[in-house]
């Protein structure tokens, strides 16, 4: 069936301004790191992407290496874009990134001009797009001069291949320096993409202050700690869950077991708020106004819908925030 997006797609989503730019992003965005690769079912990802757009999720976040195998999420994006989303290109913000290893040899990863610009060309081809809305340096490169990496981002904009640029997982100091270099080049640093969730709070140690001071947006990844801050693992580790998949080395059964006592207590608190744990975890990442968008993943339409309903209650009392701190320290 041809896809006709819902007429009510802009009725329930909140759109937040990205730093001091002209762009707005949905308070909840959809990431394509997992569940959209060559190993996944196209019809499931189509259903998730359609439902997301129907509910106002105008931002899909990709990277050169998303899959598995690397590159396959961008290829699946092309299929779905051509079949479903092409008429709505101007209603969508599509991002991609380069930084992690994508091809063999010295030019296939990190932050050189050689790698970043070649990777962007490859991504555009795989995605069937003329340009992306946001192009990111996916990780800081300790060996390449920051001027070179930022210069490549600036070139991507000047070549018309990206509208805006971002960085991911840069320290507060490198972020300030990257912003200065880009400002001098005339291409503002739009956004930073760091990890952030109740178990991973590194951005509270300076990065949020830098972003606020510089007027840079913030889209936080893995707000659910890859599924741990949901009911996914409350009854054990399901065989189809991320922690069971051997190629998903970023989340192991050991992580899940270690955090479970806290997750159980957080789940009780979420219930008392009349929310699912996933909804409370997402709302918690959005409590600081410097955070523009919470970047979730979902392996089903049901998970996506559960997560988007977080927007029904974003407020926390001081007592609830205090209780969360207590649980996290327990």
With CA atoms as reference, report the closest residue to 221 among 139, 148, 102, 147: 139
Smallest separation (angstroms) from ligand NDP to the CB of 186 = 25
123 versus 226: smaller Cβ distance to ligand NDP: 226
How many residues of this chain interact with ligand NDP, rule: CB under 6 A? 31
Residues 62-81, one symbol each (x = binds ligand NDP by CB under 6 A, - = not), give: --------------------
Could you give the CA distance from residue 42 to residue 79 in angstroms, rounded to a whole number? 9
Please give the residues from 162 up to 221 whose contact with ligand NDP meets the rule CB under 6 A.
Answer: 168-169, 193, 221
Instruction: List, as one string, the DSSP characters of 88-137.
Output: GGGG-EEEEEE-S--SSSTTSSTT-HHHHHHHHHHHHHHHT-S-EEEEEE
Q: Candidates 19, 26, 56, 297: give the one binding ligand NDP (CB under 6 A).
A: 297
Please tell me whether residue 224 binds ligand NDP under the rule CB under 6 A. yes
Main-chain phi, psi angles of 96, to 5 degrees: -140, 175
Length of the chain: 330
Please tell me whether residue 40 binds ligand NDP under the rule CB under 6 A. no
Q: Candidates 189, 223, 308, 324: give the one binding ligand NDP (CB under 6 A).
A: 223
Q: Output the CA–CA distances (angstroms, integers) from residue 39 to 7, 34, 236, in the order listed.
A: 32, 10, 24
Of the candidate spans 9-17, 175-183, 257-265, 291-299, the one that interacts with ligand NDP by CB under 6 A turns out to be 291-299
Please give the residues from 121 up to 140 whose contact with ligand NDP meets the rule CB under 6 A.
Answer: 138
Could you give the CA distance from residue 113 to residue 184 in angstroms, rounded to a whole number? 18
Asked, as a colleague might, if the bond just before 224 is cis with ω within 30 of 0, I would say no
Within 10 Å of residue 22's Cβ, how many Cβ atoms? 8
Smallest separation (angstroms) from ligand NDP to the CB of 307 = 5
Q: Candidates 61, 74, 109, 133: give the one binding ligand NDP (CB under 6 A).
A: 61
Of the candidate spans 127-135, 201-209, 225-233, 253-261, the one that interacts with ligand NDP by CB under 6 A turns out to be 225-233
Please tell me whether residue 33 binds ligand NDP under the rule CB under 6 A. yes
* Contact residues for ligand NDP, defined by CB under 6 A: 31-35, 61, 138, 168-169, 193, 221-227, 230-232, 241-242, 278, 295-299, 303, 306-307
């Amino acid at each position: 069936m041809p896809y006709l997006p819902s007429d009510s797609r802009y009725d329930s989503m909140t759109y937040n301004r990205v730093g001091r730019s002209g762009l707005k992003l949905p308070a909840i965005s959809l990431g394509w790191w997992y569940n959209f690769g060559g190993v996944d079912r196209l019809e499931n990802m189509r259903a998730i992407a359609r439902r997301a757009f129907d509910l106002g999720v105008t931002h899909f976040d990709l990277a050169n290496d998303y899959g598995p195998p690397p590159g396959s999420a961008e290829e699946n994006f092309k299929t779905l874009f051509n079949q479903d989303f092409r008429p709505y290109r101007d209603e969508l913000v599509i991002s991609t990134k380069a930084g992690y290893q994508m091809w063999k040899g010295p030019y296939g990863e990190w932050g050189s001009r050689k790698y970043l610009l070649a990777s962007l060309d490859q991504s555009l081809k795989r995605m069937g797009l003329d340009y992306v809305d946001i192009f990111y340096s996916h990780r800081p490169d300790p060996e390449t001069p920051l001027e070179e990496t930022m210069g490549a981002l600036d070139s991507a904009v000047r070549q018309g291949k990206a509208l805006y640029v971002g960085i991911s997982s840069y320290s507060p100091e490198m972020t300030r320096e990257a912003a200065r270099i880009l400002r001098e080049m005339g291409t503002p640093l739009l956004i930073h993409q760091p990890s952030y969730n109740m178990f991973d709070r590194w951005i509270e140690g300076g990065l949020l202050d830098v972003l606020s001071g510089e007027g840079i947006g913030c889209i936080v990844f893995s707000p659910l700690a890859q599924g741990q801050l949901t009911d996914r693992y409350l009854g054990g580790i399901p065989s189809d869950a991320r922690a069971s998949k051997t190629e998903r080395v970023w989340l192991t059964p050991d992580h899940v077991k270690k955090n479970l006592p806290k997750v159980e207590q957080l789940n009780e608190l979420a219930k008392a708020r009349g929310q699912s744990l996933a909804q409370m975890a997402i709302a918690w990442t959005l409590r600081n106004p410097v955070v523009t968008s919470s970047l979730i993943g979902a392996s089903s339409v049901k998970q996506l819908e559960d997560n988007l309903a977080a927007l029904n209650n974003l407020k926390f009392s001081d007592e609830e925030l205090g209780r969360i701190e207590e649980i996290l320290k327990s």
